[in-house]
A and B are shown apart, each in its own frame.
Chain A
Amino acid sequence: EIVLTQSPGTLSLSPGERATLSCRASQTVSSSYLAWYQQKPGQAPRLLIYGASSRATGIPDRFSGSGSGTDFTLTISRLEPEDFAVYYCQQYGSSPYTFGQGTKLEIK
């Protein structure tokens, strides 16, 4: 099983700042099958990025994903108030699919 470790656990930033979230895998993620999701309280997760760097439909271009192998990054270029939420990475290159423990992005 591939274990995904996200860092930091909590990130405190202000609107307009740049956010960099990390996801490290215990083994190589096959074919960069790495996704990022955003989840707000009481809501279902929303797909942001798939294939490590492709934005899902309707996702603003301030969200970008990068990385390969075992190290992946989600970058939010300029934080908007609605971006404060919990973010999860997920690998879907091998079964069982696994998620990271999440990074909480909070307003400073």
Chain B
Amino acid sequence: EVQLLESGGGSVQPGGSLRLSCAVSGFTFSSYAMSWVRQAPGKGLAWVSTISGSGGSTDYADSVKGRFTISRDNSKNTLYLQMNSLRAEDTAVYYCAKDLVWGSWDGAFDIWGQGTMVTVSS
């Protein structure tokens, strides 16, 4: 069974840092691009970042560029999101999501984790 399990969320003060993890099982992790998508309380979905299967290519939303870093460890089947200089507007549920297409960077997300909540508040 394909599973994505996020962890690392919590409460942090503005300007602080958090590292999210997404442990993956049930598919060949290194063959798929992976992404982070967030959802502020009561709001819609917003794409945050994507990383290629090899980890060699990344892309970011302008709102997080320079503050967030996506990475992956294919030997550990784990995706990461390092979040620095956090702002109140970063408060959201963060989902990791698997790309639909094997061996490519597609952008449709067929499997999602259950999400982890990040709250940025003083």
- Complex CA–CA separation, A72 to B113 (angstroms): 27
Is the CB–CB distance between A45 and B110 below 8 Å? no
Is the CB–CB distance between A35 and B59 below 8 Å? no
- Complex CA–CA separation, A97 to B100 (angstroms): 14
Asked if A84 lies at the interface with its beta carbon under 8 angstroms from chain B, I say no
Q: Which of A10-18, A20-28, A99-107 contacts B (4 or more CB under 8 A)?
A: A99-107
CB within 8 A of A37: which of B45, B61, B107?
B45
| CB contact list, A76-108 vs B, under 8 A | 88, 90, 92-93, 95-102
- A56 with B110: in contact, given A47-B100, A95-B59, A96-B62 (CB under 8 Å)? yes
A96's nearest neighbour on chain B, judged by CB, is B61
Asked if B88 lies at the interface with its beta carbon under 8 angstroms from chain A, I say no
Interface string of A45-61 (1 = CB under 8 A from B): 11100110000110000
- Smallest distance from the beta carbon of B108 to chain A beta carbons, Å? 4
Interface centre among B46, B47, B108, by most chain A C-beta atoms within 10 angstroms, is B108
- Complex CA–CA separation, A57 to B62 (angstroms): 32
Q: A35-B109, A44-B112 are in contact. List 20 more A-B contacts (CB 8 A).
A: A33-B106, A44-B95, A45-B37, A45-B45, A47-B100, A47-B109, A51-B108, A57-B110, A90-B45, A92-B106, A92-B108, A95-B59, A96-B62, A97-B47, A97-B50, A97-B107, A98-B47, A99-B44, A99-B45, A99-B47
Query: Which residues of B are at the interface with A, using a C-beta cutoff of 8 A?
Result: 37, 44-47, 50, 59, 61-62, 95, 100, 106-110, 112-115
23 contacts between A and B (CB under 8 A): A35-B109, A44-B95, A44-B114, A45-B37, A45-B95, A47-B109, A50-B100, A50-B108, A50-B110, A56-B100, A57-B110, A88-B45, A90-B45, A90-B47, A90-B108, A92-B108, A95-B59, A96-B47, A96-B59, A97-B50, A99-B47, A101-B44, A102-B45
